[in-house]
Amino acid sequence: MPGPAVLSAAATALVAALLLLRREDAGPGRGPSMAVTEALPKLREDFRMQNKSVFILGASGETGRALLKEMLEQSLFSKVTLIGRRKLTFGGEAYKNVNQEVVDFEKLDDYASAFQGHDVGFCCLGTTRKKAGAEGFVRVDRDYVLKSAELAKAGGCKHFNLLSAIGADKSSNFLYLRVKGEIEAGVEELKFDRYSVFRPGVLLCDRQESRPAEWLFRKFFGSLPESWASGYSVPVVTVVRAMLNNAVQSSDKKMELLDNKAIHDLGKADGSLKP
């Protein structure tokens, strides 16, 4: 009998294979426009001058941690607050002004003040079915995220950024993709002044915990030509740079949807950043 890890790896591989067939997901992005690349330093400078405050949900995760690091390196915000279920410790001078709000996600209404006064919010929260079970997954990836977004909106947040996933679709038969689609739509109903949704493929990073399915993926992608692999995977650092490169630009659209291709293009728009 194959163990649960192998079965979960196989199931994930199947989902991925199906996703691959959905070519529209890898559809045209915005393109790595030269205009954006050239404008970025100025955009960042103008953004800094606005002294904005930001919160991150899920800053202990792979994406959240990379996002925090990158936004501190770029000094984009005057005030950075992490909202999470536990206090995190960081080494390094750069982190010394980072605020932390520890909340109980089961009683978020009691922590409404944690969500007050942030101009921009990034949500990188999430768990897996394997870690939390189907119910736990829905609780975190949908209920916690939606409640947090509600409180952020009530607290004055103008620009909400949601880390979703490739293939998100509220009518999907797959729990994972359905929940991602539901949360995307749920947050949209809150009508933030600006709402940006990121739909990356498999996140490439050196994960601290072991996830056999993702490991299998990385081996698989590693053996493919770069141009193929980049259609359905993306390095975490590219995702967070895309999020920030997007945030520093003003937008007249209320909602933006960045697919895996758009994330690649925008996340790599600035060649001057360290790899």
Ligand X SMILES: NC(=O)c1ccc[n+]([C@@H]2O[C@H](COP(=O)([O-])OP(=O)(O)OC[C@H]3O[C@@H](n4cnc5c(N)ncnc54)[C@H](OP(=O)(O)O)[C@@H]3O)[C@@H](O)[C@H]2O)c1
Q: Which of 80, 149, 151, 165 binds ligand X (CB under 6 A)?
A: 165
Quote the least distance from Cβ 51 to ligand NAG, whole Å. 4
Catalytic residue (one of 144, 153, 176, 268): 176
Reported as half-sphere exposure (CB side, CA atoms, 13 A), residue 174 has a value of 17
Q: Which residues pair with 101 in a beta bridge?
A: 83
Give residues 50-109 in contact with ligand NAG (rule: CB under 6 A). 50-51
Judged by CB under 6 A, which stretch of 48-56, 144-152, 191-199, 235-243 contacts ligand NAG? 48-56
> Token pair for residue 156?
């004055």
Told to check if 33 binds ligand NAG by CB under 6 A, we report: no
Q: Which of 53, 127, 172, 249 binds ligand X (CB under 6 A)?
A: 127
Told to check if 121 binds ligand X by CB under 6 A, we report: no
> Token pair for residue 99?
């605020």
Give residues 4-23 in contact with ligand X (rule: CB under 6 A). none
Told to check if 167 binds ligand X by CB under 6 A, we report: no
Told to check if 200 binds ligand X by CB under 6 A, we report: yes
**268 sits in which H/E element:** none
- In DSSP notation, 85-147 reads SS-----SGGGTT-EEEE--GGGGGGGGGGGTT-SEEEE-----HHHHHHHHHHIIIIIIHHH
Told to check if 186 binds ligand X by CB under 6 A, we report: no
87 is catalytic: no
CA-based radius of gyration for the chain: 18
Report the distance separating Cα 266 and Cα 262, nearest Å. Answer: 6
Told to check if 263 binds ligand X by CB under 6 A, we report: no
Q: Determine how many CB atoms are found less than 10 A away from the CB of residue 2.
A: 9
What are the helix (H) ranges across the chain?
A: 4-21, 34-48, 62-73, 129-138, 145-154, 175-188, 212-222, 226-232, 236-247, 260-267
Q: Which of 9, 114, 149, 203 binds ligand X (CB under 6 A)?
A: 203
Catalytic residue (one of 153, 180, 261, 268): 180
Largest CA distance in the chain: 60
Q: Which of 16, 19, 124, 258 binds ligand X (CB under 6 A)?
A: 124
180 is catalytic: yes
Give residues 179-198 in contact with ligand NAG (rule: CB under 6 A). none
The set of catalytic residues is: 176, 180
Q: Which stretches of the chain bind ligand X, using CB under 6 A?
A: 58, 60-64, 84-86, 105, 124-127, 140-141, 163, 165, 200, 202-203, 214
Q: Rule CB under 6 A: which residues touch ligand NAG?
A: 49-51
